[in-house]
């Protein structure tokens, strides 16, 4: 399944083409456009771990297709052995990145579908897996459109919108999560300005968000992470919209490191702070943010920039990839079904009780 980005300037983030999985290598953007044909499930694991495919929704889609890649050459096995190998690959694939719930959501959904499929042979079970992965892919695109529809009213003529990291088209297979209201408002002809945080240490805001918004013709200005509070203090920001990698049952959420500071600053200046959250990123099994595992990445990402050292030799560094923002700093969650407001523990569960991720 292809999902050509709506702005028609980049290959699809993820494409399934006749049994091959194609991934746009996001580590090479914005200066090189490289599409990788991943050969095996180990390559899918590495692509997720090394951020060649990234963003919670895109990771979920890639993981679903990754299991198809894993089982592509196993169609001659007995069905019981096929199922056992599928589960082993799923368990291993989940270890690529622990924080984004879409990874486990995607592989667990594939396993449930395999268990629920009455197949007489492995070949038909493999075909069922491919069809389920395609459904996950199509649903992701639909979720993004829903978030755009419900979030667009947050952006008015003359608004200043601040976003962090990349929760855009490159982080999904559609028009993004946090960027979905931005693109919807842009399509509607609303005039507004976006401030995109650079997002240290890997600069997803500078390399990806600023790039895709610019390509789409959106009025975007790149700022240093440390300038966000100052920009707010000048009255230039009317709303903050960020994405998320996991939302706990009480409304605490994990997102790219630096999000917590933005939420605190927005609260100080009385600026509404919204989180774009597709149902696939909601984790009602996790009670609060204190239970979310935070990925700690290599210190090299902090001490080096573009392959060159920017710190003293042998310098120690911390590199948490995410932080957790408490629910009391959130104005609302923009979902494909509408905007969810406090009390989140009740409203999230009520709205998504029918979803497979409900407890």
Q: What is the pLDDT of residues 66-79, one digit of tens each?
A: 999 999 999 999 99
DSSP annotation string for 120-155:
SSHHHHHHHHHHHHHHHHHHHHHHHHHHHHHHGGG-
% residues pLDDT > 90 (the chain): 89
Residue 232: both structure tokens together: 């707010």
- Has 28 been labeled as part of a binding site? no
Sorted by where each starts, the structural domains of the chain and their CATH numbers stand as 14-145 (1.20.120.420), 148-351 (3.40.50.10470)
Supply angle C-alpha 56, 61, 67, rounded to 5.
Answer: 125
**Contact between 167 and 243 (Cβ < 8 Å):** yes
- Has 307 been labeled as part of a binding site? no
Question: HSE of 320 in the Cβ direction (CA atoms, 13 Å)?
Answer: 14
Asked if pLDDT for residue 8 goes beyond 90, the answer is no
- Has 55 been labeled as part of a binding site? yes
Asked if pLDDT for residue 19 goes beyond 50, the answer is yes
Question: pLDDT for 323-355, tens place per residue?
Answer: 999 999 999 999 999 999 999 999 999 988 755
- Has 97 been labeled as part of a binding site? yes
pTM of the model as a whole: 0.91
Q: How far is CA 94 from the centre of its chain?
A: 15
> Which residues, including other chains, have CB under 8 Å from residue 73's CB and lie 6 or more apart?
none
CB atoms under 10 Å from CB of 193, counted, come to 16
Asked if omega into 343 is within 30° of 0 (cis), the reply is: yes
Backbone dihedral angles phi then psi of residue 217, each to the nearest 5 degrees: 85, 15
**Contact between 300 and 311 (Cβ < 8 Å):** no
- 297 vs 98, higher pLDDT: 297
**Contact between 331 and 241 (Cβ < 8 Å):** no
Backbone dihedral angles phi then psi of residue 290, each to the nearest 5 degrees: -65, -20
Distance CA 55, CA 51 (A): 9
| Residues designated as active site | 245
Question: HSE of 11 in the Cβ direction (CA atoms, 13 Å)?
Answer: 19
Beta bridge partners, 241, equal 274
Distance CA 136, CA 200 (A): 31
**Contact between 257 and 325 (Cβ < 8 Å):** no
Query: Can you say whether residue 299 is alpha, beta or left, with left for phi > 0 and alpha for psi between -120 and 50 degrees?
Result: alpha
Distance CA 4, CA 8 (A): 7
Question: pLDDT for 297-320, tens place per residue?
Answer: 999 999 999 889 999 999 999 999
Sign of CA dihedral 183, 188, 189, 192: negative
- Has 251 been labeled as part of a binding site? no
| Number of residues that this document lists for the chain | 359
Question: pLDDT for 224-276, tens place per residue?
Answer: 999 999 999 999 999 999 999 999 999 999 999 999 999 999 999 999 999 99
Helix, strand, coil content of the chain in percent (nearest 5): 45, 15, 40
Q: Does residue 9 sit in helix, strand or coil? A: coil
């Amino acid at each position: 399944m292809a999902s050509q980005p709506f702005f028609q300037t980049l290959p699809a983030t993820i494409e399934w083409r006749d049994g091959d999985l194609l991934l746009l290598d996001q580590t090479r953007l914005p200066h090189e456009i490289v599409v990788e044909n991943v050969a095996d499930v180990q390559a899918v694991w590495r692509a997720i771990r090394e951020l060649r495919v990234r963003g919670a929704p895109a990771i979920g889609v890639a993981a679903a297709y990754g299991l198809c890649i894993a089982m592509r050459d196993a169609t001659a096995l007995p069905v019981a052995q096929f199922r056992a190998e599928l589960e082993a690959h799923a368990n291993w694939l989940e270890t690529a990145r622990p924080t984004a719930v879409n990874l486990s959501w995607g592989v667990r959904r594939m396993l449930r579908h395999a268990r629920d499929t009455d197949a007489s042979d492995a070949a038909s079970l493999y075909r069922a897996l491919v069809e389920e992965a395609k459904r996950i892919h199509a649903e992701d695109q639909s979720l993004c459109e829903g978030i755009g529809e419900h979030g667009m009213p947050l952006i008015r003529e003359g608004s200043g919108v601040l976003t962090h990291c990349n929760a855009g088209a490159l982080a999904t297979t559609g028009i993004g999560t946090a960027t979905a209201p931005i693109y919807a408002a842009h399509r509607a002809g609303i005039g507004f300005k976006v401030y995109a945080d650079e997002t240290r240490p890997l600069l997803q805001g500078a390399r990806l968000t600023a790039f895709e918004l610019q390509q789409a013709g959106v009025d975007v200005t790149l700022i240093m992470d440390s300038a966000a509070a100052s920009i707010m203090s000048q009255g230039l920001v009317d709303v903050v919209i960020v994405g998320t990698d996991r939302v706990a049952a009480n409304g605490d959420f994990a997102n790219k490191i630096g999000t917590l500071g933005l939420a605190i600053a927005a609260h100080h200046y009385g600026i509404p702070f919204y989180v774009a959250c597709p149902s696939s990123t909601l984790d009602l099994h996790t009670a609060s943010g204190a239970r979310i595992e935070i990925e700690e990445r290599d210190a090299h990402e902090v001490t080096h920039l573009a392959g060159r050292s920017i710190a003293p030799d042998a310098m120690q560094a911390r590199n948490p990839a995410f932080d957790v923002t408490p629910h009391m700093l959130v104005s609302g969650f923009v979902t494909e079904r509408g905007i969810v407001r406090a009390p989140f523990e009740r409203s999230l569960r009520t709205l998504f009780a029918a979803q497979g991720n409900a407890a």
